């Protein structure tokens, strides 16, 4: 049940809701009932699915409400878009980054790979810090 809660917390933290998933991760790590690597995996998967939801929300917004986008904005998004996904883990701006990447239809494979890398590294740092300081 703890892991399911962590998954939900991580998922919701990567949507527009301002939830600190790191707190749930640290709480479960501190309980010691699960392997730190399983906890890392669950948090990363949940957070990445939330980020993916934001990307697809951006695609939906584009198809439903955006009639015309700036050609310059489109060029910038296609050139730098996937790289911006690396920073989708950042508080406050991470969620809008993924929504914008969806709106501007950033290339999906590099966007998702860089999103996964950024989110994994954030949680890895939290887990390793906890293990080191324990």
Nearest residue to 99 (alpha-carbon basis) of 109, 110, 113, 84? 84
Number of Cβ within 10 Å of residue 96's Cβ equals 15
What is the pLDDT, as a whole number, of residue 69?
A: 67
Nearest residue to 38 (alpha-carbon basis) of 114, 123, 115? 123
Helical axes 71-84 vs 94-103, angle rounded to 10° = 130
pTM value > 0.75: yes
pLDDT digits 0-9 by tens, 43-78? 999 999 999 999 999 999 888 877 666 676 677 677
Nearest residue to 121 (alpha-carbon basis) of 51, 44, 61, 54? 44
pLDDT digits 0-9 by tens, 12-53? 998 877 788 999 999 999 999 999 999 999 999 999 999 999
What is the pLDDT, as a whole number, of residue 123?
A: 97
Q: What are the C-alpha distances in Å from 5 to residues 8, 14, 49, 57, 91? A: 5, 14, 15, 23, 20
- pLDDT above 90 (res 128): yes
- pLDDT above 70 (res 90): yes
């Amino acid at each position: 049940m703890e892991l399911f809660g962590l998954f939900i917390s991580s998922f919701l933290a990567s949507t527009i809701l301002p939830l600190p998933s790191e707190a749930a991760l640290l709480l479960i790590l501190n309980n010691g009932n699960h392997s730190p690597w399983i906890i890392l995996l669950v948090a990363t998967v949940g957070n990445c699915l939330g980020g993916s939801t934001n990307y697809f929300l951006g695609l939906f917004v584009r198809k439903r409400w955006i009639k015309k986008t700036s050609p310059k904005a489109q060029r910038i998004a296609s050139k730098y878009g996937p790289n911006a996904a690396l920073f989708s883990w950042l508080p406050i701006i991470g969620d809008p980054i993924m929504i914008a990447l969806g709106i501007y239809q950033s290339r999906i494979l590099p966007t998702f790979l860089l999103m996964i890398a950024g989110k994994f590294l954030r949680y890895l740092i939290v887990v390793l810090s906890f293990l080191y300081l324990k």
